[in-house]
Amino acid sequence: MELSIDRLQKSYGTSIALSDFTGVFSAGVYGLLGPNGAGKSTLMNLIAGNLKPDAGSIRYDGADISRMGKNFRAILGVMPQQQGLYPGFTGLRFLSYMAALKGMPKSRAKEQIREVSEMVHLSNRLGQKLGTYSGGMKQRILIAQALLGNPKVLILDEPTAGLDPAERIHIRNIISGVSQDKIVIWATHVVSDIESIAREVILLKEGHIAAWDRPQKLLYDLIGKVFELVVPEEAIKDIQDRYLISNLTLSSDGIRVRIISEQEPEDYPFQTVPPTLEEEYLYRFGTGGSAYEDCCQ
């Protein structure tokens, strides 16, 4: 099982959305990270066949997916962000409808709906209308429809967006569990969701691959550059002005601050700490900022 992409390019007018994207995917979870406009959605839509590339190719086990047509769509599962749900449909009707769109025979569809609804813990909710579902239930029904037909390539667009921690963990466990025999491409802004389960992480920036490696290897360039300080509240403004802050938490002896810096911090006692994937993201894309209001006011 191999999905290979060679020099893929896509532009919208004069704006380049994806440039010279090349890489190979095999079974496992691939985290797709990058700021808005980095090219994540374009890449996923190209793989799903919703867009045609300007140049380059996408092949599954050596065959061009544009020539595979319905044979590739038969092994493809796509979970969009919450959209396209019919509030008047029950969960069962929605899954039955999606199975019909995938061309599944009714007998097979019935069995598959039972299996995927059990997997996402919705068996006893299929009689309810989708309009009554919570945010987490909607995300789970979207995962369920993507899993219909036992796809070999699974594309997930922000599957945990807006969910509470318990729901996020549940969905993460579902995806991790099915990834043993699937290529899973998971686009997210919640970096911690894929840190522990991703086989590899792809960082996109302005349509280019900024980095592609195993999570721990991506952190090598941050070793010795992440520091933890405990400082009084009045020092926060100075630290914000001088350093990239990755986290702020209250402690009994002050405010505990994690910073990313090329040099050891001056004027404050510190300890060097192991970096996280979220800090690698901030280091690469410079999208950090103050969490002071959230933490301490």
105, 208, 228, 247 from 221: Cα distances, Å: 51, 19, 18, 19
- Number of helices and strands in the chain (H, E): 12, 14
If asked whether residues 167 and 276 sit together in one domain, one would say no
Question: In this structure, are 193 and 97 located in the same domain?
Answer: yes
Closest CA to 194 of 212, 170, 176, 220: 176
Q: What are phi and psi of 92, to 5 degrees?
A: -65, -45
Considering the domain architecture, whether residues 188 and 289 belong to the same structural domain is answered as no
Which two structure tokens, joined as six digits, stand for 269?
A: 């006692």
Q: Are 190 and 57 within one domain?
A: yes
Provide the whole-model pTM. Answer: 0.89
What stretch of H or E contains 172? helix 165-178
pLDDT of residue 82: 63
Query: What is the pLDDT at residue 47?
Result: 97
Domain of 245, in residue numbers: 220-296
Secondary structure letter of residue 90 according to DSSP? B
Phi, psi of 125 (to 5 degrees): -120, 5
212: domain CATH number?
A: 3.40.50.300
Residues 45, 92, single domain; the answer is: yes
The confidence score (pLDDT) of residue 292 equals 43
Check whether residue 47 and residue 162 sit in a common domain: yes
Distance CA 106, CA 111 (A): 9
Radius of gyration of the CA atoms of the chain, in A: 22
Residues 265 and 189 in one domain: no
Q: How far apart are CA 10 and CA 55, in angstroms?
A: 7
Q: Are 88 and 234 contained in the same domain?
A: no
The pLDDT, as a whole number, for residue 81 is 79
Residuewise pLDDT in 10s, the chain (297 residues): 999 999 999 999 999 999 999 999 999 999 999 998 999 999 999 999 999 999 999 999 999 999 999 999 999 999 987 667 899 999 999 999 999 999 899 999 999 999 999 999 999 999 999 999 988 889 899 999 999 999 999 999 999 887 888 888 888 998 999 999 999 999 998 888 898 899 999 999 999 999 999 999 999 989 999 999 999 988 899 999 999 999 999 888 889 999 999 999 988 899 999 999 999 999 998 754 444 444 555
Q: Choose one of 184, 218, 252: the last residue of a domain.
A: 218
Last residue of a domain, one of 218, 244, 265: 218
Residue 287: per-residue pLDDT? 57
What's the rounded Cα separation, in Å, for the pair 88 and 93? 10
Instruction: Give yes or no: residues 128 and 177 share one domain.
Output: yes
Residues 59 and 56: their CA atoms lie apart, in Å, by: 10
pLDDT tens for 228-268 read: 999 998 889 999 999 999 999 988 888 999 999 999 998 88
- Where among 182, 200, 218 does a domain terminate? 218
How far apart are the C-alpha atoms of 81 and 158, rounded to whole Å?
Answer: 6
Sequence-separated (6 or more) residues with CB below 8 Å from residue 294: 248
User: What confidence score (pLDDT) does residue 208 get?
Assistant: 96
Same domain, 173 and 239: no
